[in-house]
Amino acid sequence: MTQQRAFIFDMDGTIVDNMGFHTRSWLEFFSRRGHAVDEAAFFAATAGRTGHEIIGQYLGQGLPHDHVTGLIDEKETLYREIYAPHLRAVEGFSALVSAARAAGIRLAVGTAAPQSNVDFTLDGLGVRELFDTVVGAADVKRGKPEPDVFLLAAERCGADPARCVVFEDAPLGVEAARRAGMRCVVLTTTLPAEAFKTFDNVICIARDFSEIDINTLTNL
């Protein structure tokens, strides 16, 4: 087995603290169609899932693929409009990534986001070049909590899953890391620490990246 290490970052709610904006845009999207959706229940059921999976859950399975794609484009355009003025990386992100690169750790993004949002976030922050690979919704068949996105990121980095650390903010993402055989660092940007107490793969819980000790992670 390769000894290569990798850090795999979820994007929404992890690299950027934006999940509230995603939820707001989804609620507006469904409101336009006469659906009242409970905010807390919606986040718990969908954070980390792909847009196609969310549309299928709430508007029904069997809709034509092109129609669903158009619906997702509408929702994501709304999201980008309301979040754009607030786009910024979570505190400490740049320093942690720089330290990881200096330590020879491969870096990846593993997200359920569509390509338009990946471009909006990574290019908007100017951080795309920091990563060895970016895996998004278009690259896998199943969203989180299935492990596909993290396993593909590890494969592209040439890293054994057991040598990967995932950075996440949502239970479905932590579960995806667990199923992938990966340890996980949780950021409480979106939910309190108590929401992750049942996961045995969580090795650290922090408010932001500035609280994370890179030396601890590299010595695991």
Q: For the chain, what percent of residues have pLDDT higher than 90? A: 77
Quick one: CA torsion of 213, 8, 155, 160, rounded to 10 degrees?
30
* Residue 138 pLDDT > 70: yes
Active site residue 73: no
Q: pLDDT class for 47, splitting at 50, 70, 90?
A: confident
- Say what the pLDDT of residue 220 is: 66
d(CA 114, CA 131): 17
Domains and CATH numbers, the chain: 6-17+88-218 (3.40.50.1000), 19-85 (1.10.150.240)
d(CA 128, CA 130): 5
- At 146-160, the pLDDT tens digits run 999 999 999 999 999
d(CA 78, CA 142): 24
Q: For the chain, what percent of residues have pLDDT higher than 70? A: 99
> Catalytic one among 10, 12, 148, 169?
10
Whole-prediction pTM value?
0.89
Identify each DSSP E strand in 42-177 by its residue range: 106-110, 133-135, 164-168
Per the DSSP assignment, residues forming a β-bridge with 164 are 6
- At 190-217, the pLDDT tens digits run 999 999 999 999 999 999 999 999 988 8
